[in-house]
Structures are given as structure tokens and as C-alpha cells.
């Protein structure tokens, strides 16, 4: 039996909850742009992301929630360079909450889409490629003007009003 790799691993409710939180976050004064968030069920492979060592490293373990703006501000206060790279949230099973496991991860995914759009920048193209990784549920980029949501090699963009 073949399964399309682009089938979502999140329920519509889970996706709606993440998008709602991202919209709320986008309405707040975010301490840096772009903000790259990765959500996965299981550990993100070191073939897809590698840590960029930071000293000091802000704490991990927090649940992804509406309080993420506070978490980001605290992290930037601890180490201003934390803004560089992706922030990874994982869960063990599809029924669990996402927990912050990594700050400042470099996306190195080598996955390429045959029908990918032309290069729109490293953050965009990296998030699009990473969204196809087996364990990755979705990737999100918050820029000053939009929220981009990447899932299974597809992209949805919401412009800021």
C-alpha cells in the first residue's frame, strides 16, 4: 500500500490551535524576525537540523502555548543571539502537547521539491524542505508582514492586516 507523503499528521483541531496561537503571537511585538518554529512528533533528525551552540542557552521544556511571547522575550534577554535559527517543539505522540526542545537550530534539510517555487530566501526554502521530513508535522515562519505555514511540502501564507 502506498501513502502520499503529503498527508497531514495533525488533526484539523491541532492545526487550528497552532495557527490561532501563531496569529496571536504575530499580533504581539515579537523580539525578532523572522521567527522560525518547527513542530514534530518524535525527534527531528540530525540529517535535517543541527544545533548552533549558544552560551548561555535559554531553558527548554516549556509547552507551546499562548505564552510563547513571554518565553521568546526571556530567551532573548538570556542570550540575544538566540534569534538565529529555528526553534523546535516536539511531542511523543499525536495526543501529546508540543514541548520546546531546542533553540537556535540550523535547518540543513536536503529534501528538494520538484515543483518548488523559485528561491524566496533561505528561511522559506529551508522550512518548505523541512516540512517534508518524516517526523516534522509543520514549520512556521513569522515575518513582519506575514505568517507562513508549511505542511508536507505545501505552504499557506496569511498577510498581516
Task: List Cβ neighbours of 77 (8 Å cut-off, separation of 6 or more).
Answer: none
Length of the chain as a residue count: 161
Relative to beta strand 136-142, strand 49-51 is: unpaired
Kindly report the CATH number assigned to the domain that includes residue 73.
3.40.1700.10
Is 5 inside any structural domain? no
Is 69 inside any structural domain? yes
Is 31 inside any structural domain? yes
pLDDT in tens, 27-65: 888 888 889 999 999 999 999 999 999 999 999 999 999
Is 75 inside any structural domain? yes
- In the predicted model, what is the mean pLDDT of residues 115-136? 82
pLDDT in tens, 65-99: 989 889 999 999 999 999 889 999 999 999 999 99
Is 7 inside any structural domain? no
Give the model's pLDDT for residue 119: 65
Residue 20, pLDDT > 60, answer: yes
Is 37 inside any structural domain? yes
The pLDDT confidence band at residue 116, using thresholds 50, 70 and 90, is low
Give the residues across from 126 on adjacent strands: none
Counted domains in the chain: 1
- In the predicted model, what is the mean pLDDT of residues 126-137? 92
Cβ atoms within 10 Å, residue 41: 18
- Percent of the chain's residues with pLDDT above 70: 88
Residue 121, pLDDT > 90, answer: no
Query: Residue 22, class by beta-carbon neighbours within 10 Å (0-12 exposed, 13-18 middle, 19+ buried)?
Result: buried
The pLDDT confidence band at residue 123, using thresholds 50, 70 and 90, is confident
Give the model's pLDDT for residue 125: 87
Measure the CA–CA gap between 131 and 150, rounded to whole angstroms. Answer: 6
Is 1 inside any structural domain? no
The pLDDT confidence band at residue 109, using thresholds 50, 70 and 90, is confident
What pTM was estimated for this model as a whole? Answer: 0.90
Measure the CA–CA gap between 136 and 141, rounded to whole angstroms. Answer: 15
Is 138 inside any structural domain? yes
DSSP letter for each residue of 26-87: HTS--SSSSEEEEEEESPPPTTTEEE---SSPPP--PBPSTTHHHHHHHHHHH-GGGGSSEE
Residue with cell 516536539: 90
Which range of residues forms the domain containing residue 128? 12-159
Amino acid at each position: 500500500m502506498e501513502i502520499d507523503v503529503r498527508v497531514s499528521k495533525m488533526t484539523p483541531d491541532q492545526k487550528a490551535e497552532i495557527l490561532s496561537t501563531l496569529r496571536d503571537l504575530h499580533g504581539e511585538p515579537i523580539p525578532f524576525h523572522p521567527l522560525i518554529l518547527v513542530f514534530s512528533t518524535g525527534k527531528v533528525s540530525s540529517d535535517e537540523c543541527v544545533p548552533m551552540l549558544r552560551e548561555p542557552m535559554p531553558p527548554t521544556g516549556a509547552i507551546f502555548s499562548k505564552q510563547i511571547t513571554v518565553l521568546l522575550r526571556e530567551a532573548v534577554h538570556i542570550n540575544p543571539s538566540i534569534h538565529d535559527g529555528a526553534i523546535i517543539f516536539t511531542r511523543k505522540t499525536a495526543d501529546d502537547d508540543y514541548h520546546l526542545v531546542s533553540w537556535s537550530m540550523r535547518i540543513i534539510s536536503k529534501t528538494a521539491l520538484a515543483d518548488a517555487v523559485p528561491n524566496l530566501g533561505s528561511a522559506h526554502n529551508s522550512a518548505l524542505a523541512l516540512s517534508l521530513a518524516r517526523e516534522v508535522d509543520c514549520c512556521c515562519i513569522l515575518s513582519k508582514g506575514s505568517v507562513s505555514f508549511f505542511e508536507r511540502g505545501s505552504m499557506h501564507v496569511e498577510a498581516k492586516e
